[in-house]
Structure formats: structure tokens, C-alpha cells
Amino acid sequence: MSVTHTHAAAPPVPTLDVERIREDFPILAQEVNGHPLAYLDNAATSQKPTAVIDTLRHYYERDNANVHRGLHELSRRATDAYEAARATVAGWIGAPAPSELIFTRGTTEAINLVASSWGEANLAPGDEILLSELEHHSNLIPWQLVAKKTGAVLRYLSLDDDGRLILDDLPGILGGGRVRIVAIAHVSNSLGTINPVAEIARQAREAGALVAVDGAQGAAHHPVDVEKLGADFFAFSAHKMCGPTGIGALWVRGEILERMPPYQGGGEMIDLVGKHESTWAALPHKFEAGTPNIAGAIGMAAAVEYLRTIGPEAILRHEQDLVGYALDALGDSPGVRLFGPPEPSERAGVVSFRMAEAHPHDISTVLDREGIAIRAGHHCAQLVMQRFEVGATARASFYLYNTKEEVDRLVRGLDTVRSIFGGD
Ligand code: C6P
């Protein structure tokens, strides 16, 4: 176990033993450009612990075969491990049944699945899809595409100056009676804002609308229970939560999934095939056409098992601790403009900022020379950039293995940026 317990609070949230956790991530023990790596780009993708790397190696060295097809030992093993992975991943988000969880390539494919399958079958001209200004493009473009096909109309919740959704507008929008689905991020990747999804879902449900949650930044950094959230769809990616790239999942409430038409056709997803008509496999296989990412799913489950030993509550608390520390330090740093809610408790481990002296790309380039990895750009959230009238921000994003010393290095790195671009 990589945690020690504090005695103050009840119920106690474990405090992370970060030095110990760092040993689980071999990639962190390297120098980049002559400096120890400070990996502060976790919202883009997280690093992978040995437990996940070993699971993938073991699968390929011992069990690799196709699933649900063969009657031989290896195929049985692969199938058992793949289906066990489904149950483990479903458990991570509190899904009532593993059969409601579909493996996808990631959050992006999961949202495209919802928009295409559910959207094309259920949306009619004049129906409304409610999004928000803080959505990642993965939770915008699929809805724009389905709106064009069906004649549905896109509506938006706005952001206040601190990057929070303006919930006061919600009753008015829902009160129009046209909203069929609310598609909203659990946590903003560009600002870190944790959205009040349960409250939004409560109001949406009362208005007869479904709720689709983009959980890409939620499932990795925040405890998730889809039932408590009141979600009907929940999409997330393994690579942001210590798992492999190219695998993620979509949970759909059972009675909705039953009525959704297939998303893609091919092997695996059929029952009986005729020349003109075919019937579909049972759930969830109806939505998993072709050979799935078997190793990826097993690796995703290994990531869940790993994160379980740490605990999502402890991870979130650690991130909020780092965010609070970073907001204080960056707030004292001359010429730095911070974005997002001022209270660390309102956000996950993301800090977006700009400097008066330098473009975010220049900040990132200078920091990279000091071994510090951050992301600079629009973060696939151009509506957020438009809301704050900037083209880009610099973004540091934290995870369970990051330290206050790394935040200190980030802040000192900005002094270097200032000395290069500040004209002193
Ligand atoms: N955000 C970031 O640097 P995929 O690529 O399918 O695993 O996840 C897409 C996605 C969807 N929603 C949110 C809120 C996200 O943050 C992301 C991925 C990365 O912020 C890469 S752009």
C-alpha cells in the first residue's frame, strides 16, 4: 500500500505516500534535457505504473488469443480476462451491470457512439441538445454532426468569469421543454472546474432529458458513481487513468442501451446473418464490432486495480493540495493570469495560466529545457478560449505522483521565461 492515514478527519481520507508511489512509475526516474523529469501534462495522458506494464507483458507472453471465438485454452483465457476486465472497469464507476459497459477506443469514440446511435434514432427537428462552453471538442463535434443530420438544435450553458457553469440559466433552458439530452463534462480539461453534474442531472431528469457525461477527466481524478451522478451515459479513457492508450469505455443505462441501434457492423456484434437481414448479439457485444482491444481492456482493468489500492478520494485530495499550492505560488508570480475557479476544492488537478511576457508556447518550450512537461494551446477547448478572449493558455496538470517540489520548479521556470522574454 502506498498510503498513510491521517487521524484528523472522519471518515479519514488517506494521505498519499508520493515518494513511494513514484517508484511505481519507471518513466519518472529519468532526466530530460539534463534535469529530472517533472511530468505536469497528466490531463493529456498519464504515466503507467509497473503493474499495468507487467499485465500487458504477461498477457502477450502467455494468454494472447482472440476472444469469444475459439474453443482452445488460450482463447478461453483471453475471453475470461477480457470479460473480467469489463466487470472491473464497470465497478470503478459504480455501473450496476458489466453488460452495460462497452469498450471503445476512448472517450472520443464513446461520445461519437452515443451521438450516432442514440442521437440519430431519437432526435428530431427542433429537439435541443444542451452543451456547455467548457466542453472539449470531443463533446462538441459529435453533437454538431448529429444536429446537422437530424435538425436538432444546439444550446449552450455559459461560463462565469471564474470558469464555472452558470446554473441559473438551466431552469429557463430546460423549461422550454425541447431539451432531449444534456451532454456535459464531469471535469473541465482546460480549467479544471468540477461541474455539479448531479444537480444538472437532477434538473435534466425532471425536464425529461437524458444526461451524457464526458468523464475523461472525471474518472481519473475524482471518485465516480454513475448512479449517484444521475447519468444515463458516461464516457472515459484508460490512458488518463494510468492505463494504456487506445482503450476506454462507455457506460449506458441498461434500458436505454437495449433500445439503441448498432453503431458499427461487423464480426462479434451479430447473432444470425442473412443475405438481407441480420440479428444482433446480446449486450454489450452488439456494440463491439470486430476484434476488440483485448490487451488494452485488460490493461485498463489493471490500472483500475492499481488506482483502487490508492483510492480516488486520496488522489483528488492530493491534486487539490497541489492545485492550492500552485494557485498561491502562481498568484504571487508577477504578470501571471490564472484561469478557473479560485477555490482548489472546486477543481481537479489542472492549472491554466498566461504570462504577460510570453506566449504559452514559449513558456512550454522554456520549461521543457528545464525538464518540465506542460501543455500549451487551446487544449481542444476553443469555446473556453473564446469565452476568455485568449488564443491559448499554458496548462500544468497534476496526478498522484506529482510533488510540491515540482510545482516549485514550475514557478522558478517562469522566472527563467521572464528573464528571456521580459526585456529586463
Ligand atoms: N483531453 C487534454 O490534453 P480521448 O482523446 O478520446 O482519450 O479523450 C478526449 C477528451 C474528451 N473530453 C475531455 C474532457 C478531455 O480532456 C479529453 C482529452 C486531452 O486535455 C487531450 S486533447
**Tens of pLDDT, residue by residue, the chain (424 residues):** 344 444 445 567 779 999 999 999 999 999 999 999 999 999 999 999 999 999 999 999 999 999 998 799 999 999 999 999 999 999 999 999 999 999 999 999 999 999 999 999 999 999 999 999 999 999 999 999 999 999 999 999 999 999 999 999 999 999 999 999 999 999 999 999 999 999 999 999 999 999 999 999 999 888 899 999 999 999 999 999 999 999 999 999 999 999 999 999 999 999 999 999 999 999 999 999 999 999 999 999 999 999 999 999 999 999 999 999 999 999 999 999 999 999 999 999 999 999 999 999 999 999 999 999 999 999 999 999 999 999 999 999 999 999 999 999 999 999 999 999 986 5
Distances (CA, A) of 379 to 135, 140, 330, 363: 10, 13, 20, 15
Q: What domains are there in the chain, each with its CATH number? A: 18-42+311-421 (3.90.1150.10), 52-309 (3.40.640.10)
Task: Quote the DSSP letter at residue 42.
Answer: T
| CA dist., res. 45 & res. 231, Å (int) | 24
State if residue 397 touches ligand 1 by the CB under 6 angstroms criterion: no
State if residue 136 touches ligand 1 by the CB under 6 angstroms criterion: yes
Question: Of residues 380, 412, 416, 420, which has the active-site annotation?
Answer: 380
pLDDT of residue 396: 98
| CA dist., res. 38 & res. 28, Å (int) | 8
**Cα 302 to averaged position of ligand 1 atoms, centre (Å):** 21
Helix, strand, or coil (residue 403): coil
Q: Which atom of ligand 1 is nearest to the CA of 240?
A: 7
**Cα 138 to averaged position of ligand 1 atoms, centre (Å):** 7
Query: Catalytic residue at 242?
Result: no
Mutate which of 41, 108, 189 for ligand 1? The one with the most ligand atoms within 8 Å of its CB, which is 189
C-alpha cell at 255: 434500458
- The residue contributing the CA closest to ligand 1 atom 5 is 108
C-alpha cell at 195: 461541474
CB 285 within 8 A of CB 268: yes
CB 154 within 8 A of CB 147: yes
- The residue contributing the CA closest to ligand 1 atom 2 is 44
Could you tell me the sign of the dihedral formed by the alpha carbons of 323, 108, 385, 393, in that order? Answer: positive
| CA dist., res. 93 & res. 225, Å (int) | 5
C-alpha cell at 42: 497528466
CB 220 within 8 A of CB 240: yes
Within 8 A by CB and 6+ apart from 300, the residues are: 85, 89, 238, 243, 244, 247, 248, 249
Q: Which atom of ligand 1 is nearest to the CA of 41?
A: 3
**Cα 183 to averaged position of ligand 1 atoms, centre (Å):** 15
**Cα 189 to averaged position of ligand 1 atoms, centre (Å):** 7
C-beta neighbour count of 166 within 10 angstroms: 12
C-alpha cell at 286: 452488439
pTM for the full predicted model: 0.96
| CA dist., res. 173 & res. 166, Å (int) | 12
Task: Quote the DSSP letter at residue 195.
Answer: P
Phi (first) and psi of residue 406, to 5 degrees: -70, -35
| CA dist., res. 192 & res. 174, Å (int) | 25
State if residue 189 touches ligand 1 by the CB under 6 angstroms criterion: yes
State if residue 217 touches ligand 1 by the CB under 6 angstroms criterion: yes
State if residue 185 touches ligand 1 by the CB under 6 angstroms criterion: yes
Residue 62: HSE in the Cβ half-sphere, 13 Å Cα cutoff: 8
Could you tell me the sign of the dihedral formed by the alpha carbons of 166, 172, 174, 179, in that order? Answer: negative
Q: Which atom of ligand 1 is nearest to the CA of 108?
A: 6
**Cα 135 to averaged position of ligand 1 atoms, centre (Å):** 10
Within 8 A by CB and 6+ apart from 332, the residues are: none
| CA dist., res. 33 & res. 366, Å (int) | 11
**Cα 386 to averaged position of ligand 1 atoms, centre (Å):** 18
C-beta neighbour count of 259 within 10 angstroms: 10
State if residue 402 touches ligand 1 by the CB under 6 angstroms criterion: no
CB 348 within 8 A of CB 190: no
Could you tell me the sign of the dihedral formed by the alpha carbons of 220, 223, 225, 231, in that order? Answer: negative
Q: Which of 241, 375, 228, 244 is nearest to 315 (CA)?
A: 241
pLDDT of residue 14: 79
